[in-house]
Structure 1
Amino acid sequence: MIYIKNEDNRPQFNLALEQYVFDNLNQFDEIFLLWINEPAIIVGKNQNTIEEINLDYVKENNIHVVRRLSGGGAVYHDLGNLNYTIISKSKGSSSFNFEAFSKPVIEVLDKLGVKAEFTGRNDITIDGKKFCGNAQYMKKGKVLHHGAILFDTDLTVLSKALKVSKDKIESKGVKSVRSRVTNIIDYLDEKITVEDFKQLLLEHMFKKDSKIKEYKLTEEDYANINKLMEERYSTWEWNFGKSPKFNISKSKRFPAGKVETKIYVENGRINELKFYGDFFGGGEISDIEEKFKGIKYKEDEIEKVLNTIDVGYYFSGISKDELMQCII
């Protein structure tokens, strides 16, 4: 495993860095990054951004909004939040194994006298309250796993900036997003800073090595990362995207995540179909959206298309029959 040191606080740069490292540094089997963002909402790849944020509040408070490569739900970052990324060559598995990648965080907290546990599909909790959400992106035999750790984050801003859907709150059995999240610092007998915690996690990841192996980004690396940042992560098209024209909207939450569809049907045929949600999955969702264009909006026609798709790959943990419920 090698470590890439990064002190940049711009979320657009940090997400571009993740993608660049994932796509290009193939000479390493495992890569570890730690990064801290300025106030930002990081939305999941398949989410409808406008429906996930309190846009007026975000604008008034100069909070960045950036879309990431992985699925899952929107999260709030600030300078009291620590993000970690593990990029690894997957060992033949196409499943999303969140628990294995979450162990380092749980083990560091155990050393600090705090009992944390992995729960649900992708959360790490203390006393039943979430302090870390995890997400993954898979492509060509590699996995990018990242987690957002609430260490000393302003939870009041978090609750005002995010617009969490009612069905998600109800599925957790709680009244609000503020009541189901917590900060690590509240459980520490001896108070430390987020930078201290960052160092502890870094040392833990390299505990088997006598020295932390570091890859230093070159001028060419930085040039490519900045180009990617400008062309993707700083653009409205990537972060928000245009809202599709639709006359049918369906939404359903499953244990593996929420799937929402916006469909425009004209003369009995699907003119456009878009999938949104906080589900996880591999590949590009746009590839399968294209398959529905022009077909009749009938169950048997839709089933024919679904039979040509590896539903479990694009919608991890969701079956073909469940996906059908979200379309017709």
Structure 2
Amino acid sequence: MYYVKNERNGEEIYDPTYNLAIEYFLLNEKKLDEPILLFYINEPSIIIGKNQNTHVEINEEYVKEHNVHVVRRFSGGGAVYHDLGNICYCFITNDDGNSFRDFKKFTDPIIDSLHKMGVEGAELKGRNDLVIGDQKFSGNAMYATNGRMTSHGTLMFDVDIDETTKVLKPKAAKLKAKGVKSIRSRVTNIKPHMDEASQDMTLHEFRTALLLNIFNVANLDEIKEYQLTDQDWEWIDDFRSRYTNNDDWNYGENPDYEIIRDERTTAGQIEFQFNISKGKIKEAKIYGDFFGLGEISDVEQALIGQDYTRENLVKVFEGLNIKNYFGNVTAEELADLASL
């Protein structure tokens, strides 16, 4: 496995619009002969899931007032808050056809490393969360394209949790499903749970310890690295300007819809928005924190022009590879949610 530093001219990058562009570059353009591991630390930012409605997920007034970055990633899942007390990790590899949604495969090296630092209660729980007890310290997501995939997640080492509650607006259904009343009560930092020898670690020292454990080496110079070239940076700069640093991508359109149907399902939060004319679907938009392999716009296009009845919606969904787009949910469940 190769390790890639998110550095340019010897300087580490903390801008999420660059860091997410680097990850996308490594996934799509840099096919090395072994998997890739990327770590990065972001300035205060909200990273939005690919299929989420940015305007609904964030406290826009607070975010703009405090210059918090808002960047949409290419994987599904929910919105997460990053700051200089958080590390993001990304495992990038070929898609073997069996690993998508297998979060255990990619989180086990992280959990094993934490156990070695005294965080004995760290474990994968539910769909994609790493927890200590009932408190989450890491959210994970995946994205696959063109035979390649990335499994990436956050590690809340010493995050300002109070700030998280100010920038995000969690849906009540999500909190209810987890049996808690607020973001603050369901998350924790890693640092307080580490052994006494690790309590004085800085975030960068914590990253070093993770690297040594994951690569099973005694020194950093034993780790195989790939260094980004000037040509790589040309691609990254162009991609950043078109996507991760572009409000059209990060916020998207927010038109008014006549019908909004929103519910938490076995596949995650799913929201349908429709404009209906003469009993037919004129416009359709789908949001959520589900993990899909395909482009959700395919489903939206399949719905346009269809009769807006439960029976017909079932037929439409049955004609699509629903598990590919949404995960573990049936055509009947989707039709029940989407119809009035």
Measured after TM superposition, the shift of residue 200 of structure 1 is: 1.3
Letter in 1 for 2:316: V
User: Structure 1 residue 224 and structure 2 residue 244: aligned?
Assistant: no
User: Structure 1 residue 3 and structure 2 residue 3: aligned?
Assistant: yes
| 1:4 and 1:214 in contact (8 A); partners too | yes
Measured after TM superposition, the shift of residue 63 of structure 1 is: 0.4
1:85 to 84, 90, 94: 90
Counterpart residue number, 1:157: 163
User: Structure 1 residue 74 and structure 2 residue 85: aligned?
Assistant: no
Runs of 4+ with >4 A deviation? none
After superposition, where does 1:1-328 map in structure 2 within 5 Å?
1-6=1-6, 7-93=12-98, 95-115=100-120, 116-188=122-194, 189=196, 190-207=199-216, 211-328=222-339
Gap runs ≥5 in structure 1: none
The 1:208/1:194 distance shift into structure 2, 3 A limit, reads closer
TM value normalised by structure 1: 0.96
- Higher mean Cα deviation, 134-143 or 265-274? 134-143
Question: How many angstroms apart in 2 are the aligned matches of 1:216 and 1:297?
Answer: 53
Letter in 2 for 1:162: L
Listed one character per residue, the Cα deviations across residues 260-310 of structure 1 (whole Å, up to 9, x for unaligned) are 010011111111111101111111111221111112212333233212210
Measured after TM superposition, the shift of residue 208 of structure 1 is: 6.8
Letter in 2 for 1:76: Y
Listed one character per residue, the Cα deviations across residues 57-96 of structure 1 (whole Å, up to 9, x for unaligned) are 1111110010001100100000110000001112221641
Letter in 2 for 1:311: I
Question: How many angstroms apart in 2 are the aligned matches of 1:136 and 1:203?
Answer: 24
Counterpart residue number, 2:9: none
Question: How many angstroms apart in 2 are the aligned matches of 1:303 and 1:15?
Answer: 37
| 1:5 and 1:34 in contact (8 A); partners too | yes
Letter in 2 for 1:191: D
Question: How many angstroms apart in 2 are the aligned matches of 1:194 and 1:213?
Answer: 22
3-state SS of 1:143 partner: strand
Percent identity over the alignment is 43
Say how many residue pairs are matched.
328
3-state SS of 1:233 partner: coil
Letter in 2 for 1:167: A
Measured after TM superposition, the shift of residue 21 of structure 1 is: 1.0
Question: How many angstroms apart in 2 are the aligned matches of 1:203 and 1:239?
Answer: 35
CA RMSD, 1 decimal: 1.5
Question: How many angstroms apart in 1 are the aligned matches of 2:208 and 2:142?
Answer: 23
Measured after TM superposition, the shift of residue 314 of structure 1 is: 0.6
| 1:132 and 1:148 in contact (8 A); partners too | yes
Question: How many angstroms apart in 2 are the aligned matches of 1:304 and 1:94?
Answer: 30
TM value normalised by structure 2: 0.93
Measured after TM superposition, the shift of residue 104 of structure 1 is: 1.5
